[in-house]
């Protein structure tokens, strides 16, 4: 079955439409440092506003412990949304309480209200189905229909994502529909050569996606902290670099399978080794086979792919027609160790085909490094959700909208 889209809901003029967005944005001292997820929701929100719907927006932010916490209030997000929409946005002081009901009751056609953080209510993330359903029923009382447009949470069986979509007439917004279309292209019929670039800190976070993609890709490039487990599996010493020793056998198996399937597995040939994990640490470039042969010896830690590896990766990426990238190549937050991630990002902007940045830290990295969103074919708003989709897992927030 296909995903239900906005058209399936008919006219929404005058209707109270709950929109489950993903406004889980990074905050520093109460200020949004990256509003990409807010901007990503604008096409759906503007379409509903233009229809004359009365918008009731709900989202989580951070990980409050099921109770109100001012540090995780959505108030800064409501303010930023008001600026982006160019119109007032009401902000409820609670999620399903008196303030929420008053804010929704006051809405006129085309107006917008934001409910307070969903995770201020324990029912949102409850493992107990009855508790979750009870909270979803309280949310449902605030709306006539649900538009699910928070792709970053569709892999979670949560009240506002799953149960609410069963209670109210529901459909995917433009953001979720667009994400599914792109990720389906990566899974079903990608243009070739098809290259997947994986980074980030841990191999264990990517085991499922590696297993699922090996039969489907032409090239697999491995960087980030996870590269040291692969290098160790090749027999190299990696000093104090991040190493998951319990995954060595699994990684060895993947290397063997890649060879048997004719998948080009591209591993780093050099790395930037540092004296410590700090922005001003001493650092040198070392050959992948001699990572401990530096002044730091066995205490040196790898914090980025080296320049030869970066260029090797860039050549493979530019030579591809489809590229999916998830996970930075190094500790990009520190300028001394951002070069590998920057080189990979730049190469993705030069792909003659579909280039997909797989959300999470990768999306944060390209923005922090100064790249424009439209330089890439697609930037996913959900790192975990995109990985689980590519692993072939069933995502409850999509299944409830008709996706099979």
359 is in an annotated binding site: yes
Question: How far apart, in whole angstroms, are the C-alpha atoms of residue 166 and residue 153?
Answer: 16
Q: Provide the annotated active-site residues.
A: 37, 202, 360, 384
Which residues sit opposite 284 in a β-bridge?
273
Is residue 382 within 8 A of residue 349, CB to CB? The reply is no
State how far the alpha carbon of 125 is from the alpha carbons of 120, 138, 360, 366, 372, in Å.
10, 14, 20, 30, 34
d(CA 203, CA 331): 16
Tokens of 236: 């190299």
Q: What would the two tokens of residue 171 be?
A: 């459909």
Is 185 annotated for ligand binding? no
Residue 62 among known ligand-binding residues: yes
What's 380's DSSP letter? -
318 assigned binding-site residue: no
277 annotated binding-site participant: no
Q: Is residue 60 part of an annotated ligand binding site? A: yes
- The residue behind tokens 């591809």 is 320
What own/partner pairs with CB < 8 Å and gap ≥ 24 does 64-67 have?
64/117, 64/119, 64/120, 66/119, 66/120, 66/121, 66/122, 66/124, 66/125, 67/120, 67/122
224 is in an annotated binding site: no
121 assigned binding-site residue? no
The answer to whether 183 and 389 are in contact (CB under 8 A) is yes
57 Cβ neighbours under 8 A, 6+ residues apart: 18, 19, 21, 23, 45, 81, 112, 113, 114, 115
Residues 340-350: b if buried by 16+ CB within 10 A, e if exposed: bbbbbbbbbbe
User: Is 290 flagged in the annotation as binding?
Assistant: no
Q: Which two tokens stand for residue 72?
A: 């995780």
Residue 257 CB-half CA count within 13 A? 15
- What SS3 class is residue 340? helix
Q: Is 370 annotated as a binding residue?
A: no
24 in a known ligand binding site: yes
Supply the DSSP symbol for 7: G
206 a known binding residue?
yes
Determine whether 76 is exposed, middle or buried from the number of CB atoms within 10 Å of its CB (0-12, 13-18, 19+): middle
The answer to whether the annotation marks 246 as part of a ligand binding site is no
Please give the annotated binding residues for ATP, written as ranges.
Answer: 206, 302, 333, 359-362
Please give the annotated binding residues, written as ranges.
Answer: 22-24, 37, 60-63, 119, 156, 206, 302, 333, 359-362
Please give the annotated binding residues for substrate, written as ranges.
Answer: 22-24, 37, 60-63, 119, 156
């Amino acid at each position: 079955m296909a995903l239900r889209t906005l058209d399936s809901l008919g006219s929404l003029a005058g209707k109270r439409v709950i929109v489950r967005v993903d406004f889980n944005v990074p905050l520093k001292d109460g200020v949004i440092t990256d509003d990409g997820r807010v901007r990503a929701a604008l096409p759906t929100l503007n379409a509903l506003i233009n229809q004359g719907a009365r918008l009731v927006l709900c989202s989580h932010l951070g990980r409050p412990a099921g109770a109100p916490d001012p540090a995780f209030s959505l108030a800064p997000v409501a303010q930023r949304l008001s600026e982006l929409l160019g119109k007032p946005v009401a902000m409820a002081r609670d999620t399903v309480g008196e303030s929420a009901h008053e804010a929704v009751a006051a809405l006129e056609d085309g107006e917008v209200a934001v409910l307070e953080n969903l995770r201020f209510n324990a029912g949102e993330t409850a493992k107990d189905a009855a508790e979750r359903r009870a909270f979803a029923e309280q949310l449902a009382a605030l709306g006539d229909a649900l538009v699910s447009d928070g792709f970053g949470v569709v892999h979670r069986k949560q009240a506002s994502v799953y149960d609410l979509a069963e209670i109210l007439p529901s459909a995917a917004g433009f953001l979720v529909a667009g994400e599914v279309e792109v990720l389906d292209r990566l899974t079903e019929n990608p243009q070739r050569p098809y290259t997947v670039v994986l980074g980030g800190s841990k191999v264990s976070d990517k085991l499922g996606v590696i297993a699922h993609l090996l039969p489907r890709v032409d090239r697999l490039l491995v960087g980030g902290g996870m590269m040291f487990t692969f290098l160790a599996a090749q027999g190299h010493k990696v000093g104090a670099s991040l190493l998951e020793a319990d995954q060595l056998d699994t990684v060895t198996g993947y290397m063997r399978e890649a060879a048997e399937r004719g998948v080009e597995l591209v591993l780093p040939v050099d790395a930037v080794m540092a004296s410590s994990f700090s922005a001003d640490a001493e650092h040198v470039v070392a050959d992948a086979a001699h990572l401990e042969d530096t002044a730091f010896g066995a205490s040196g830690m790898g914090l980025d792919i080296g320049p030869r590896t970066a260029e090797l990766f860039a050549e493979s990426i530019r030579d591809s027609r489809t590229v999916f990238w998830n996970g930075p190549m190094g500790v990009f937050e520190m300028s001394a160790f951002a070069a590998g991630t920057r080189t990979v990002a730049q190469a993705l902007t030069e792909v003659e085909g579909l280039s997909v940045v797989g959300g999470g830290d990768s999306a944060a990295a390209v923005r922090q490094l100064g790249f424009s969103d439209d330089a890439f074919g697609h930037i996913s708003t959900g790192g975990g959700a995109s990985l689980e989709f590519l692993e072939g897992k069933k995502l409850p927030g999509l299944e409830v909208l008709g996706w099979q």
